A and B are shown apart, each in its own frame.
Chain A
């Protein structure tokens, strides 16, 4: 027996007695001289494991980067192979004075030392395990440790203190902001014990889905910066913890005594258990800048009253505690047992954003209207990306059929969708609440009107996901707010997603973007089916965005994903956008169609407002020029909002072939006109209709209605009046000149 090496307990056996396949493979390779710089020494066999002992030659420079001790040219290594092959083969350096170096597995017995070869899970490394590379990995570990390059420059720093397999989720701010000994009241609840024990600590008032918890009061203690490298076993008592951190100049007991004294009057804390959240800043090179933080949580078995007594800050006098004049510093808490928990930070907004690939969370005040199928999913997508501070407006309650396509699950049935989603968001994201709610109807807010107006006025973004034309119209025309509006909805079949966004400049309001979308639906072949359902066109008068149809949730999830992604990329864009995404084919593919928004032209005409755009005026001008010197004209397509007395005019149909076109006269024909009008109404599900007439005037002529024009207008008045609609006539002259008339004209009685 060589005294330089640890004598293993397992008995030596002949190599052929080994049973674990990996051990056998290693021995076979060593015996066949297949592995350079390695020689087999002996095999041993334990209960449920095989051991292979060998001498490895190590590649060494003349100088080593190890402070205390050296790696030797020849190191004796034992590899312990688990019979079930469920854990990484344990690699033991048998030399008794093998140096204390980083990247070891912490063991109760530190001799022999166990080398930590790979940070990947064993299931991953197992796929490519072979004896020869395994030995190279061990030799590489030894060689790189000697050169001080085992720890890669891009590898995160080594832990200073061992962790526990038991975890505790704590508020994320305890991981970064030293709170200077303030009492952080936490309620600790046990989430689960199998396969791992996980606790959750929340501040009182934070919404928790778990039951009542153990009352724990935490104090945060920040240590002096430690040079990373060696990992240490966790101290088991308060005194041992103090001794451990005092090596780096941290007076843990001193800080703790001060904190406890300040809690003397807060008797409500005294029966709670004490949690010490220990923050250990680590640096990569000695004396370097702290680069990261180890955080460990130690919970005392005893309550705060008892701990205070044990560390000498107060004494029990009858039923009450009496503060000591001066703390008994000789009392060090050696019988305060500590339970180590491995803290996991709750998901903060910034971390959520980073995990979503962004640099940081985005602060934007968003009022979202409508959190149904698409809205709920878009909302949670963005919350999970740390995007926005939200106010959710929806007066609906969750019903079973909603859950086919809603982000909320069954435990919210019957509850308001808005508050349920806000609660979900606020327990998902740690820190200040990210969502508030107004469970009201946005059009009829009732007594909450002031609250609603305030929220809308303060918003950066008003996000309409209501799938309702009246709501979108109301948000555009009936709400006073500088916020940019966005509207997200799908078509009735659920195949297309539409996003309308005003942009920060708000040059084209949402209602006009909507009209321009309908124009595209009426005219673009690829959008011909946009408003169709499987059963043909939806009934006139039904909302074109009615979503109680049969739409698969997977499509809805895709649309929600596209919408949330686009909101993130577009919320800062200056100009307006109209985008339609079409899901089509098997396998599915998504195509996006960008529709160019057009500048709004608006004219107030008596009690009416006429809203059209540059696109239409240019189109009319082009038709006029083509026919010069003759006059021409046609019918106008658009929509009426009788509630707000707005006429939207967005398109025209070509002058019918039976029209009479003369240099001073235009008489519109009607051949084929009815069919074309019907087609537009069908395609747009009635969102676009016949709204009036236009004709051109020659160059140099006035755009004021002529005598004949007034007769036409009177004819129109009579015609439209029957439906309760105003007459509309436009006269396109040269250049920018365009005469517009809306309303009623009763022909003057003949003189």
Chain B
């Protein structure tokens, strides 16, 4: 039995993956909550994650993946994690990362425009130079220039680099009940001689969980645009790897942005480009779950609706069609659970019945003992 937990963070990503063998993986981290604002409905992510680690009596994650260097995927990470490269980010109950997963861009990008982004980059580079505790997703040759500049040999680091179209080392169906297939970053063959590296792309992974002989598949689409998704579908189809695009759980790209479906927003519904339409419509399984890690879907005509920022009502409208087609669920993290005034974590259990959205009422005794009592007079 495995579990995916998506946290309500507004337009931001953080998914905790619990494996049957106790391993914990975290895909992205962003602490968005305004601590000064009591009514901020977004969850207190570091507190929630600490609570979970304490319950499991651990102080580390096996893997923390930063899918790309956008603020909404790492904000606050420098305060939460123990970073090897500098003493000042160590101790004080910081959470350790056994292996950091990053796309190549986090190593190679020269002009990261944000302080915290530079900290994450420094940690990733430090680990790569030490040749431990890191996995970089890229075509190995595409990293060669940076490695050479840093007095490293590609041949020494090859074990730490995983190319698209491969299974990520370190996890297997037999040992962990899951394997991760890499879709992006990838290299696109322009013609017979030219290969274009899409290293700027974010880390897109496809997980296949196995539980009691039943496979459950999940796509973590990071912030992939419809162009990237189109290329991914093309490449994957070319290689005959279509099964690596089947999904029971899809974490939507870029917080339900229409740009991950197609170029035009549309008036009431975004029309997806052909490959994305195939990915959503044909590859989704019966009863599958679409997760939008975003703010609530805006109502037509509201200020939010007019904003250019996701989530886009028109994209959501398309995903609703997909939901109906698969008789599944379409869940927006900031709108879950549906009846609650405050959003809570979305938990998806993966077992012999494939994916189940947990709908549990918390018993009073559990609720009372998991939080501090109010001050007594």
Measured between beta carbons, the chain A residues less than 8 angstroms from B133 are none
Contact B359 A62 (CB under 8 A): no
B119 interfacial contact with A, CB 8 Å: no
Measured between beta carbons, the chain A residues less than 8 angstroms from B314 are none
**Which of B248, B353, B355, B357 lies at the interface centre, i.e. has the most chain A CB atoms within 10 A of its CB?**
B353
B292 CB to closest chain A CB (Å) equals 19
* A133/B363 contact (C-beta < 8 A), A147-B351, A147-B352 known: yes
Docked complex Cα distance between A147 and B328 (Å): 17
B244 interfacial contact with A, CB 8 Å: no
B residues 335-356 near A (Cβ < 8 Å) are: 337, 339-340, 349, 351-356
Per-position contact with B for A130-144: 1 when CB-CB < 8 Å, else 0? 001101100100010
Docked complex Cα distance between A65 and B356 (Å): 13
Contact B363 A59 (CB under 8 A): no
B141 interfacial contact with A, CB 8 Å: no
Contact A62 B355 (CB under 8 A): yes
B358 interfacial contact with A, CB 8 Å: yes
- Say which one of B158-166, B171-179, B265-273, B282-290 lies at the interface with A: B282-290
> Is chain B's binding surface mostly helix, strand, loop or mixed?
strand
Identify which of B214, B286, B352, B358 contacts A59 (C-beta below 8 A).
B358
Contact A59 B357 (CB under 8 A): yes
Contact A33 B339 (CB under 8 A): yes
B20 CB to closest chain A CB (Å) equals 16
Identify which of A59, A61, A139 contacts B287 (C-beta below 8 A).
A61
Identify which of B285, B337, B349, B354 contacts A36 (C-beta below 8 A).
B337
Contact B353 A36 (CB under 8 A): no
A60 interfacial contact with B, CB 8 Å: yes
Per-position contact with A for B230-269: 1 when CB-CB < 8 Å, else 0? 0000000000000000001000000000000000000000
A57 CB to closest chain B CB (Å) equals 6
A86 CB to closest chain B CB (Å) equals 27
**Which residue of A is nearest B350, CB measured?**
A61
**Which of B356, B357, B358, B363 lies at the interface centre, i.e. has the most chain A CB atoms within 10 A of its CB?**
B356
Docked complex Cα distance between A61 and B349 (Å): 8
Identify which of A57, A61, A132, A133 contacts B354 (C-beta below 8 A).
A61
Contact B356 A37 (CB under 8 A): no
**Which residue of B is nearest A147, CB measured?**
B353
Measured between beta carbons, the chain A residues less than 8 angstroms from B359 are 36-37, 57-59, 139, 143
Docked complex Cα distance between A662 and B352 (Å): 96
Contact B353 A64 (CB under 8 A): yes
Contact A62 B353 (CB under 8 A): yes
Contact A59 B356 (CB under 8 A): yes
B361 interfacial contact with A, CB 8 Å: yes
Measured between beta carbons, the chain B residues less than 8 angstroms from A35 are 361
Interface size class of B (residues with CB under 8 A): 20 to 34
A146 interfacial contact with B, CB 8 Å: yes
A residues 98-154 near B (Cβ < 8 Å) are: 132-133, 135-136, 139, 143, 146-147
Measured between beta carbons, the chain A residues less than 8 angstroms from B286 are 62
Measured between beta carbons, the chain B residues less than 8 angstroms from A143 are 359
Contact A61 B356 (CB under 8 A): yes
**Which residue of A is nearest B288, CB measured?**
A62
Measured between beta carbons, the chain A residues less than 8 angstroms from B248 are 62
Contact B353 A61 (CB under 8 A): yes
A67 CB to closest chain B CB (Å) equals 14
Identify which of A39, A61, A65, A136 contacts B361 (C-beta below 8 A).
A136
A residues 44-69 near B (Cβ < 8 Å) are: 57-65
Docked complex Cα distance between A132 and B364 (Å): 10
Contact A60 B358 (CB under 8 A): no
Contact B351 A61 (CB under 8 A): yes
Contact B354 A63 (CB under 8 A): yes
Contact A36 B340 (CB under 8 A): yes
B360 interfacial contact with A, CB 8 Å: yes
**Which residue of B is nearest A132, CB measured?**
B361
**Which residue of B is nearest A60, CB measured?**
B356
Docked complex Cα distance between A132 and B360 (Å): 11
Docked complex Cα distance between A146 and B340 (Å): 25
Docked complex Cα distance between A174 and B359 (Å): 48
Identify which of A63, A132, A146 contacts B214 (C-beta below 8 A).
A63
**Which residue of A is nearest B351, CB measured?**
A61
Measured between beta carbons, the chain B residues less than 8 angstroms from A62 are 216, 248, 285-288, 328, 353-356
Measured between beta carbons, the chain A residues less than 8 angstroms from B214 are 63
Measured between beta carbons, the chain A residues less than 8 angstroms from B287 are 60-63
Contact B339 A146 (CB under 8 A): no
Docked complex Cα distance between A212 and B53 (Å): 72
Contact B361 A36 (CB under 8 A): yes
**Which of A36, A37, A146 lies at the interface centre, i.e. has the most chain B CB atoms within 10 A of its CB?**
A36
Docked complex Cα distance between A147 and B285 (Å): 18
B285 CB to closest chain A CB (Å) equals 7
Contact B353 A63 (CB under 8 A): yes
Measured between beta carbons, the chain B residues less than 8 angstroms from A57 are 359
**Which residue of A is nearest B358, CB measured?**
A59
Docked complex Cα distance between A704 and B216 (Å): 99
Measured between beta carbons, the chain A residues less than 8 angstroms from B285 are 62
Per-position contact with B for A5-38: 1 when CB-CB < 8 Å, else 0? 0000000000000000000000000000101110
Measured between beta carbons, the chain A residues less than 8 angstroms from B216 are 62
B residues 276-312 near A (Cβ < 8 Å) are: 285-288
**Which residue of B is nearest A63, CB measured?**
B353
**Which residue of B is nearest A61, CB measured?**
B353
Docked complex Cα distance between A57 and B357 (Å): 11
Identify which of A58, A65, A133, A136 contacts B353 (C-beta below 8 A).
A65
A89 CB to closest chain B CB (Å) equals 18
Docked complex Cα distance between A305 and B352 (Å): 56
Docked complex Cα distance between A146 and B352 (Å): 11
**Which of A35, A36, A39, A63 lies at the interface centre, i.e. has the most chain B CB atoms within 10 A of its CB?**
A63
Contact A146 B353 (CB under 8 A): yes
Measured between beta carbons, the chain A residues less than 8 angstroms from B352 are 61, 63, 147
**Which residue of A is nearest B286, CB measured?**
A62
Docked complex Cα distance between A132 and B286 (Å): 31
B residues 144-160 near A (Cβ < 8 Å) are: none
Measured between beta carbons, the chain B residues less than 8 angstroms from A65 are 353
B327 CB to closest chain A CB (Å) equals 9
B358 CB to closest chain A CB (Å) equals 6
Docked complex Cα distance between A86 and B49 (Å): 46
**Which residue of B is nearest A64, CB measured?**
B353
**Which residue of B is nearest A58, CB measured?**
B359
**Which residue of A is nearest B347, CB measured?**
A59
**Which of B286, B340, B360 lies at the interface centre, i.e. has the most chain A CB atoms within 10 A of its CB?**
B360
B366 CB to closest chain A CB (Å) equals 12
**Which residue of B is nearest A35, CB measured?**
B361
**Which residue of B is nearest A33, CB measured?**
B339
**Which of A58, A61, A143, A146 lies at the interface centre, i.e. has the most chain B CB atoms within 10 A of its CB?**
A61
**Which of A58, A62, A64 lies at the interface centre, i.e. has the most chain B CB atoms within 10 A of its CB?**
A62
Docked complex Cα distance between A35 and B288 (Å): 26
A469 CB to closest chain B CB (Å) equals 64
B128 CB to closest chain A CB (Å) equals 39
Measured between beta carbons, the chain B residues less than 8 angstroms from A135 are 361
**Which residue of B is nearest A140, CB measured?**
B360
* A37/B351 contact (C-beta < 8 A), A59-B358, A62-B286, A132-B361 known: no
Docked complex Cα distance between A59 and B356 (Å): 7
Measured between beta carbons, the chain A residues less than 8 angstroms from B351 are 61, 147
A607 CB to closest chain B CB (Å) equals 83
A72 CB to closest chain B CB (Å) equals 10
Docked complex Cα distance between A294 and B358 (Å): 37
Docked complex Cα distance between A123 and B286 (Å): 43
The 4 closest A-B pairs by CB, nearest first: A61-B353, A62-B287, A62-B354, A61-B356
**Cross-chain pairs A/B with CB under 8 angstroms, 7 sampled:** A33-B339, A36-B361, A61-B287, A63-B352, A63-B354, A65-B353, A147-B352
Interface residues, chain A, CB within 8 Å of chain B? 33, 35-37, 39, 57-65, 132-133, 135-136, 139, 143, 146-147
Interface residues, chain B, CB within 8 Å of chain A? 214, 216, 248, 285-288, 328, 337, 339-340, 349, 351-361, 363
- Contacts A63-B287, A63-B354, A132-B361 aside, 5 further interface pairs with beta carbons under 8 A come to A35-B361, A36-B339, A59-B360, A65-B353, A143-B359
